[in-house]
Amino acid sequence: MQPFEKHLIAWLLCGFLPVLFSCQRDKTADNEPSFHQDEAFWQEYHEAYPMEANDVRAVLPDRDGNVWAATAKGIFRKIKDSGNWAPIFDGYANGPSFALAQDSAGTIWLGTWNGLYQYQNGAVTKANGPTGPISSICTKAGTVYAIGPNGFWIGNLKGFTLQKAAIARSVRDVISDGQDGLLIATDVGLYHWTPSNLEHTYKTDALIAAYAKGLAFNNDGKLWIGGLGGVTIQARGKKEAELRPKDGIPSIYVTAVRLAPDSSMWVGTQTGVVRFAKDGSHSLRFSRRWLMDDQVNDIAFDNNGNAWIATPRGVSAIKKRKMNLASKSDFFYDVLMKRHIRLPWIAGQAHLRVAGDTTTWEPEDDDNDGEYTGNYLAMESFRYAATKDPIAKENARKAFGFLKLLQDVTGTKGFFARTIVPATWTYMHDGNRTYTERELADELVKEPRFKPVEVRWHLSADKKWLWKGDTSSDEMCGHMFGYYYYYTLVADAAEKKVIGAHVGRIVDYLMQHQLNFADVDGKATRWSVWSPDQLNRDPEWLPDRNQNSMEMLAFLKLAHHMTGQEKYGKEYLRLIEKEHYLDNMKGVTQQNPAWLIYFDVVLQAYLYPILIHCEKDPERLKFYKNHLEEWFLKRKGDHNPLINFIYAHCLDKKAELKNSVDFLVDTPLDLVDWPIDHRKREDIQVVRTPVLEDEQVSELQPASIRLTVRWDKNPWTLSGGNPQVEREPVFWLLPYWMGRYLGMISK
């Protein structure tokens, strides 16, 4: 079991099981929900039980809560509530094992390389008769059916009889037909055996393909036959329907089919397990977030409805507990405080020394520490505004203190650092370096705007911190976003003066350097360029003209709003009237596809609240609101709850609430950035939209099977992930608390 999963179980068992609220939602004119009553839902989570190099072929949770695994190296058992596997056999008896079953009396039957065994009252004995290997077992009442390449036996604890049935030796699964016979899946089709008859089906009028691997009846008594090509659904022996990749099967190699206690059908494949609900919807679980391996060999359910899944790398348990959004918020906030706040009060991701093991976490620096602490500052501001919790106010104050320190630590009149680390740290990302003339020439050809920065890390005057320069435009946008909400929702009159002075100092510095963010070398950093000399008159900055014009208008507007000083208002008007920055901004929604990156989408979202809530001129306010409407039409399909709630806050329109809540509900509790690769799936297509340069999925995937989110990441991304990173849960907490503050999500 992974440490994250142990933490989760402890929290769930000792924590909060929410009251099940009734679902009540007000409707807007277009039938879009405008209010979500926080109700209980089933939150799935994964427990991992590795068995490296054992290749688990079958899994059986017994009626006492123990779990059995048939593997390439023998039969193993995990006692209830334990995470350790113990072998059942010693010495000679150990070897490849294939099948497991429990009969009505509680006896465990084990199909192995050298025969059939029975486990009863703590003792293992070999059954008389069956010759190994035994690859499939079915039990009905007191009768046991054991089948393998060397024959088909029927018996019980007293003994077994060999049957004279002309069944193919390549048996993959066997189930009861519900009466006195068996259904048997083989590499050459489906057999229906009864004591008096044998029927063989293999033609395409009855099966997708003759290779049959898994069998199960659904809740309506229809037979699901999984195998090569997908799933065939039969009713009364006749093909009624098929499920192929176009229907949600992620791989044509179907390996197992089982009926779950909730009446859903679980279909195991070589690319994960897909569940089909009675209402026709389906959901996929794949990647190490959910499975030890995407190759599913067997599926079984325990008495609590938990799914146990056999894979080549071990056994996965997919479990669920009742939560609601409020208790999920508590869970994420606990993780945030334990592993994602580092001194002096930086909200960021954690590095995992051992991939996926959150007990090995350690803090690490990130270029975007300032931006994401700005998100955290906004989150705590909304949390305070919604609850008046003094801890939220104090934490917001600490986050602002860190962001202000980023400016103070540089010893300049307005430049701020990307991040800081204690001076004692010996490893940081992107350390100091030098460039040879050849390297510099190579970089300049690739990107003529390239700025060589050889000294990125600087020692602070008090010798306590190393601070990182070359601060980018996204840091500026993230800071201003956090400052706006802290000033608006939390700060008292005295604090407002401090915030306003801080923002004014930064914007003064920009104005002193032709609206560029000058590093300690006196030159603009690589990305922080807002001067009309570059944006309007240097063709290399054309890709950034629209975006950066919007940014600078927001910075000036915020400084004017907070300080009341006319110099900011005059510069704002100069850029609009003389340098056409408002006209430039129009192009944000018609960005050339070669220049569109999803990162910019979120930076734009940060700016709308400032431009709309701080603008007093009716015509410009109308422009900004119309601009947001046009922009939002292009972003609705992303189902991004942060964007949706920003839109709602700016225009007082409660839109896309269902998609926002769906994301909040479906987000997994596991924050490890597990690699996810949709390229291996056959049920989706690879496309180049909405971002031309990126490989993306043809259909937006639910949060449960996306890469771990940071909102600057493209939600349509095809593949990626780094299991040595655990993401900070601010991406979830920020939109949740925005929804609470806006009254769109109930307490």
Q: What is the pLDDT of residue 17?
A: 35
Overall domain count for the chain: 1
Q: Report the SS3 class of residue 75.
A: strand
CA atoms within 13 A on the CB side of 14: 6
Distance in angstroms (rounded) separating the CA atoms of residues 340 and 336: 5
> Is residue 284 scored above 80 in pLDDT?
yes
If we measure between CA atoms, which residue out of 583, 610, 588, 607 comes closest to residue 544? 588
Distance in angstroms (rounded) separating the CA atoms of residues 322 and 97: 36
Q: pLDDT per residue over 592-602, tens digit each?
A: 999 999 999 99
- Domain assignment present for residue 720? The answer is no
Q: Report the SS3 class of residue 671.
A: coil
Q: pLDDT per residue over 88-109, tens digit each?
A: 998 877 999 999 999 999 999 9
Distance in angstroms (rounded) separating the CA atoms of residues 743 and 14: 30
- Domain assignment present for residue 256? The answer is no
Q: What is the pLDDT of residue 91?
A: 80
> Is residue 338 scored above 50 in pLDDT?
yes
Q: What is the pLDDT of residue 2?
A: 53
- Domain assignment present for residue 39? The answer is no
- Across 132-229, the runs of DSSP E, i.e. the strands, are 136-140, 143-148, 151-156, 159-162, 171-176, 182-186, 189-194, 197-201, 212-217, 223-227
Average pLDDT, the chain: 95
Q: What is the pLDDT of residue 52?
A: 80
Question: Token pair for residue 14?
Answer: 């000792």
Residue 546's domain spans which residues? 326-656
If we measure between CA atoms, which residue out of 374, 395, 358 comes closest to residue 734? 374
Mean pLDDT along residues 122-146: 96
Mean pLDDT along residues 1-6: 49
Mean pLDDT along residues 397-414: 98
Q: What is the pLDDT of residue 728?
A: 98
Distances (CA, A) of 669 to 43, 116, 346, 439, 593: 8, 41, 22, 44, 35
Q: Which of 6-15, 75-84, 110-119, 235-244 has the lowest mean pLDDT?
A: 6-15
Q: What is the pLDDT of residue 30?
A: 56
- Domain assignment present for residue 227? The answer is no
CB atoms within 10 A of CB 580: 16
Q: Report the SS3 class of residue 577.
A: helix
Mean pLDDT along residues 399-417: 98
Distance in angstroms (rounded) separating the CA atoms of residues 62 and 106: 8
> Is residue 296 scored above 90 in pLDDT?
yes
Q: pLDDT per residue over 641-677, tens digit each?
A: 999 999 999 999 989 999 999 999 999 999 999 999 9
Give residues with Cβ within 8 angstroms of 23, minimum separation 6.
37, 39
Q: pLDDT per residue over 493-536, tens digit each?
A: 999 999 999 999 999 999 999 999 999 999 999 999 999 999 99
Using CA of residue 368, residue 369, residue 372, residue 373, what is the dihedral sign? negative
Q: What is the pLDDT of residue 92?
A: 79
Record the pTM: 0.94
- Domain assignment present for residue 441? The answer is yes
> Is residue 12 scored above 50 in pLDDT?
no
- Domain assignment present for residue 550? The answer is yes
- Domain assignment present for residue 651? The answer is yes
- Domain assignment present for residue 562? The answer is yes
Amino acid at 531: S
Q: pLDDT per residue over 438-483, tens digit each?
A: 999 999 999 999 999 999 999 999 999 999 999 999 999 999 999 9
The C-alpha torsion from 82 through 83 and 88 to 91, rounded to 10°, is -140
> Is residue 5 scored above 60 in pLDDT?
no
Q: pLDDT per residue over 682-711, tens digit each?
A: 999 999 999 999 999 999 999 999 999 899
